[in-house]
Amino acid sequence: MTEAITAEREKALLATVPTGLLIGGEWRPAASGKTFEVEDPATGKVLLSIADAGPEDGMAALDAAAAAQEEWAKVPPRERGEILRRAFEMVTERADDFALLMTMEMGKPLAEARGEVTYGAEFLRWFSEEAVRAFGRYSVSPDGKSRLLVTKKPVGPCLLITPWNFPLAMATRKIAPAVAAGCTMVLKSANLTPLTSQLFAQIMLDAGLPAGVLNVIPTSTAGETTGPLIQDPRLRKLSFTGSTPVGRSLLADAAKTVLRTSMELGGNAPFIVFEDADVDAAVAGAMVAKLRNMGEACTAANRFIVHESVAEEFGAKFAEKVGQAVTARGTEATSTIGPLIDAKSRNKVHELVTDAVSAGAKVLVGGEPAEGEGYFYKPTVLSEVPAESRILSEEIFGPVAPIVTFGTEAEAVRLANSTEYGLVAYVFTKDLNRGLRMGEQLETGMLGLNAGVVSNAAAPFGGVKQSGLGREGGLEGIEEYLYTQYIGIADPYAS
């Protein structure tokens, strides 16, 4: 983005964001007339007030999705794909607007927000191509006496619940495969960052998505508003991205109607640096794996597990780079680190740092909140972090890197796997065999090998253990929105 971001530019952009609930193709106020405020985490100032859905609105959204399902499933896959392709073009054309809006409501620096627009839009392009590839199969049964026809069908109306940290990509990663598969949906965006989804939903309408296929219900009362939908037999799928505790509770609710679920939950990613790694490359990878999105990512490196022979060099070089990061509102050209999302998050990050330091960890750089308005936290590196520190077992969700050391490969594997989470791991080594061995031994859904970022629309994203169920993106992504039907056919030669 080359233009300077002025207050007028921000105001003009906010004026294009729909502020209602999207139900049955129309933007409308909440039945209660209530609204809630969306704040800029860099300044604490209110950006916009938007309609606050309640249970009645949630049910109206499900009514609209259920009513649209039959016709939508009949729309040819190519047409569904073309709607997604148009949406991809339109989001790309308005990349500057989407990036600025995300920076304003979520805080990430503009350059990162631009990166998220590219990543988020890619799900639209990828699934526009996948829409025509929901193949089945036909085969002769082993005894030759019948024929087996296997087809894929849309699961039906879905409830999509997204978190605040990637306002565009988390929405497109669910909406695009659901559209491609022929499902209708209700999106419950995060109440801290709902504006990007509002703007994106308008793009989907402009791209030709029929009324009722996508309904959007921002709300300040998530559980109360979505609870009745989860119990309604017309809902066929819940796709949730968020924290593990909320995911657990939604899984329990979903059990009552045996609802199909996809769960993208929390992480506690190990970042392992072996003695044979290129230390400079590992530091570059660590900067991305730790500081992207201010560390507010499920894939953020949470524990740096470094071989004892290179720990000092890695720690010093990493701390030097981290010390050069610039905390400022994301609209500033110099900003490389925006604010954390709110005061609660910043307090939690500082609590984890204080706990580790009081147990004996050394602060190499940072270690405290930044002064001034907004919820900024100084990027931090801690070394010699004691094993029992909370920071090693809890998701930090902030720009803080704790370093621990190991001696043998087996010890690195044991440390990395000693968590209830299993989303992603990062391994830095020049030995390809060692990298592959780590892939076999690490209990994670994804592995970055000499890479600090793994997110890619063409790859299956997801975790094992308490990091979740199912995959988003890749060839697997559309499967989450399809069910398999098998038709047994009598022997065509029998009569």
Binding site for ligand NAP (CB under 6 A): 161-165, 170, 188, 190-192, 222-223, 226, 241-243, 246, 250, 264-267, 298, 395, 423, 463, 468
| Nearer to ligand NAP (CB atom), residue 184 or residue 244 | 244
Give the shortest CB-424-to-ligand NAP separation in angstroms: 9
Instruction: For 131-160, give one letter per residue: b (16+ CB within 10 A) or e.
Output: beebeeeeeeeeeeeeeeeeebebbbbbbb
CB-count exposure of residue 281 (10 Å: 0-12, 13-18, 19+): middle
Which residue's CB comes closest to ligand NAP? Answer: 242
Residue holding tokens 């996948």?
Answer: 130
Residues 6+ apart with CB under 8 A from 80: 131, 179, 180, 182
Distance linking the first and last C-alpha atoms of the chain: 70
Check if the beta carbon of residue 302 is closer than 8 Å to that of residue 467. Answer: no
Count of CB atoms within 10 A of residue 431's CB? 14
Q: Which is nearer to ligand NAP, 191 or 257 (CB)?
A: 191
Pairing status of strand 446-449 against strand 424-428: parallel
> What residues act catalytically?
264, 298
**Structure tokens given for 494:** 């029998």
| 375: nearest Cα among 327, 442, 414 | 327
CA 457 to chain centre: 12
Our measurement of the distance from residue 178's CA atom to the centroid of its chain's CA atoms, rounded to an integer in Å, reads 16
> What is the nearest approach in angstroms of ligand NAP to the Cβ of residue 79?
29
182 backbone φψ class: left, alpha, beta (φ>0; ψ -120 to 50)? left
